Chains A and B, each alone.
Chain A
Amino acid sequence: MKSQKMKKLLIGFAVFMVFMLACTLVSKSIYAYSLPMVSTIVPESKYVEHIVETEGIIVAGGEKPVTCLPGLRIDSIQVHVGDRVEEGDVLFRIDMEDLEQLIGEKREEISKVSLNIDTILENQEIAQQKRDLELARAREDYDITARLKDTEVGRAAENYVQAEKDVQENGGDEELRDALQSAAYGEADAKAERDEAVKQAGRRVEDALLPDTAASDLEMARLEMADLQDSLNALQKIKEGEGVAAAPSGGVVTEIFIGVGDRVPDTAVLLISDESLPCQLKVTITKDQKKYISLGDQVSVKLVGKSKELEATIDYLAESKSVPEGFAALINLPENTGVPGVEGIISRSEPGEKYKLCIPPTALYKKDDRYYVYVLKEREGILGEEYYVEEVNVKVLDQNDNWAAIEEGALDQESRIITSSTKEVSKGDVVRWEQ
């Protein structure tokens, strides 16, 4: 019985060992399978070149407005934005019926004003007559007043003389003295009155002499008349031209401000490019690109439709109003090159410096403010040599789409930078290396 038990135990032990063996193999494969596989590169020495390439569109160097008499109604517009017109080309037509109507209206107004003027003139006549009458009357009054008052003064003087005589004769009688005094006063009064009355009458005469208030009404009416006449003439002219508006010079229509049926506004109806000024290529540059391009830099321009590239310079560079964080740049094209509306590409490459350690930007990671890469390192583990991942902080000196230049020190030319892995890795992880 004991040996039975012994046998059982021995078998059990053997089973255990076999199980251990099996687990050894299983665990090895599961473990290896669960390890991420990474591939690495070594940093290379490269030039970090910066190429700025961006598309733009040709815009006119300048523009000229084409205006028309405001208020006219557009019958049809013969051109579109971007159309090239020559001097004399029909741009748009004015509605003739409407024009007739306007002319008619104008005429009416003119007659109205004319009548107005007549009325004013008549009124003026009447006013003048009135004034004359008033003047005559005022003069008359003056004369009369003067005479009357003079008489009174005379009387008052006589009174006084009399009173003086009385006093002289009758000697200091109070009544007489009073009478003398009042006679003196009376004379003075009479004189004052006379002066006053004369003054007043004189003033009235002066008033009557004053000219009439400025007759600006007439002037205004006359001016209005002249205006209306001008307008009428203009309208007539248009009528003669059959309502056609022609291009004043050759160019490309850049903007049309009205539509068919609208009335011509005070501002321009449409804009035509000014061919006397050279065209410009307008591009938008992003903030990143701005680092490598500045005012005055030479760029090469490739216009659509033209096979040859040409060299030009950036003539204008400022913050863009339409694109946030962007910059607008204008490049003057040589004379007679380019038609507004056509696309073009500018490019400029700046060779940059040669850096000893450059890695693909995909291997570079950023967290908060620092950059780091994952480096493959070896160490002795229990299972033998194993590879593990180490996180190394690096300083980026320069970067473009293909390469990022790293400062020496944290890495060297033999560091194995991890560029790809089958699973996400983090620092300290054990990995397998694909060579």
Chain B
Amino acid sequence: MQKVWKLFMKGFIFCFLLLLGLTVIMPVLLLMSGSLMDTWELKGYLSAVFTDGESFIGWRLIPEFPTFANYGKLLFETPQFFVLFWNSMKLVCGILAGQLFIAVPAAWAFAVYQVKGSRVLFALYVVLMLLPFQVTMLSSYLILNELLLLNTHKAIILPAVFSTFPVFLSYGGFRSIPPQLLEAARIDGAGELTIFLRLGLPLGKSGLLSAVVLGFLEYWNMMEQPMTFLEDKSLWPLSLYLPEITWAQAGHAFSASVITLIPAVFVFVLGQDYLEQGIIYSGLKE
């Protein structure tokens, strides 16, 4: 009896979770089906949204007249999209590279060297991480203006490179390294730098990579900084392209969304394990 009940529970839980999962995925499915519809079909479904009538939005998961026209137009006839795409790539890669050089050593410092006051400094770092962009928006703008960085990509890359979020995540990864290992290496005569490079990095890889993955997802999406600091539309990242598309070009918007999704999905899938591990390490005992 118990066994049957257990099985039933298991099954129930499974179904429940699956259903939940579907609801979670639904938006993506909507996007993908929408991107394959041509203008007329979309108009038919979405027109309810524009007219102030009583009818409802309609949809079909499998479009009646599937077409790749939206993708064709997007990929082959809109160079603007690609300018923005490579802008995004440039920004994100630049930021992530910089973060690796800046944040990782800092995380190492916090993890390995317990110095008086490092607690307070760490707390400061956490606060800085939590501060919404809007709080320092103005001052950042002015500083960047002084440094003549406004309206260039550096205005976005530089402040983000010094973000404390990756410090937080990498810290978790480094924390998991047994201090005895490090001690042993020291005794063996290894210099601190060597320890960092040869021991710290490989062992704390998961923390680093989780910082990279989450960072990618974060910066691939960023909106506030480019909007405020970049004036030239030719410098904008992809995340600002989508809000510019109107409902009338819904098919275009959907296909652009799907394409924008793809790199994020790639990174996500590639780094999922590291992501998990990193998250875990950041959660374990400090």
Contact, chains A and B (beta carbon distance below 8 A): yes
- Known contacts: A20-B85, A24-B86. The answer to whether A383 contacts B266 by CB under 8 A is no
Known: A26-B75, A382-B84. 7 other contacts (CB 8 A): A10-B270, A13-B263, A23-B75, A30-B76, A34-B77, A382-B83, A382-B234
- Distance of A393 Cα from B81 Cα, bound (Å): 34
Q: Is the CB of B75 within 8 A of A27?
A: yes
- Distance of A27 Cα from B79 Cα, bound (Å): 5
Q: 23 A–B contact pairs at CB < 8 A?
A: A10-B270, A12-B266, A13-B263, A13-B266, A13-B270, A16-B262, A20-B85, A23-B76, A23-B82, A24-B79, A24-B82, A26-B75, A26-B76, A27-B76, A27-B77, A27-B79, A34-B77, A380-B234, A381-B233, A381-B234, A382-B80, A383-B83, A383-B234
| Residues A1-42 near B (CB distance < 8 A) | 2, 6, 9-10, 12-13, 16, 20, 23-24, 26-28, 30-31, 34
Q: Is the CB of A31 within 8 A of B234?
A: no
Q: Is the CB of B86 within 8 A of A16?
A: no
For B136, what are the chain A residues with a Cβ–Cβ distance below 8 Å? Answer: none
For B273, what are the chain A residues with a Cβ–Cβ distance below 8 Å? Answer: 2
* Per-residue contact bits, chain B 233-258, to A (CB 8 Å; 1 contact, 0 not): 11010000000000000000000000
Partner of A383, one of B76, B79, B269, B270: B79
Interface size on B, residues (CB 8 A): 23
For A16, what are the chain B residues with a Cβ–Cβ distance below 8 Å? Answer: 262-263, 266
Residue A305 lies at the interface, judged by CB distance under 8 Å to chain B: no
**Which chain B residues have a beta carbon within 8 Å of chain A's beta carbons?**
75-86, 232-234, 236, 262-263, 266-267, 269-270, 273
Q: Is the CB of A9 within 8 A of B75?
A: no
CB distance from B243 to the nearest CB of A (A): 14
Residue A384 lies at the interface, judged by CB distance under 8 Å to chain B: yes
| Residues A30-86 near B (CB distance < 8 A) | 30-31, 34
For A2, what are the chain B residues with a Cβ–Cβ distance below 8 Å? Answer: 273
- Known contacts: A34-B77, A380-B233. The answer to whether A27 contacts B270 by CB under 8 A is no
Interface size on A, residues (CB 8 A): 21
For A10, what are the chain B residues with a Cβ–Cβ distance below 8 Å? Answer: 270
Return the chain A residue nearest B270 by Cβ: A9
For B79, what are the chain A residues with a Cβ–Cβ distance below 8 Å? Answer: 24, 27-28, 31, 383
Q: Is the CB of B270 within 8 A of A382?
A: no
Return the chain B residue nearest A20 by Cβ: B85
- Distance of A2 Cα from B274 Cα, bound (Å): 12
Return the chain A residue nearest B87 by Cβ: A382
- Known contacts: A16-B262, A16-B263, A16-B266. The answer to whether A383 contacts B80 by CB under 8 A is yes
* Per-residue contact bits, chain A 231-243, to B (CB 8 Å; 1 contact, 0 not): 0000000000000
Q: Which 7 A-B pairs have the closest CB atoms?
A: A24-B82, A382-B80, A28-B79, A13-B266, A27-B79, A23-B75, A382-B233
Q: Is the CB of A381 within 8 A of B80?
A: yes
Partner of A27, one of B81, B84, B236, B266: B81
- Distance of A381 Cα from B78 Cα, bound (Å): 13
Q: Is the CB of A20 within 8 A of B82?
A: yes
For A9, what are the chain B residues with a Cβ–Cβ distance below 8 Å? Answer: 266, 269-270
For B82, what are the chain A residues with a Cβ–Cβ distance below 8 Å? Answer: 20, 23-24, 27-28
CB distance from B279 to the nearest CB of A (A): 18
CB distance from A5 to the nearest CB of B (A): 9
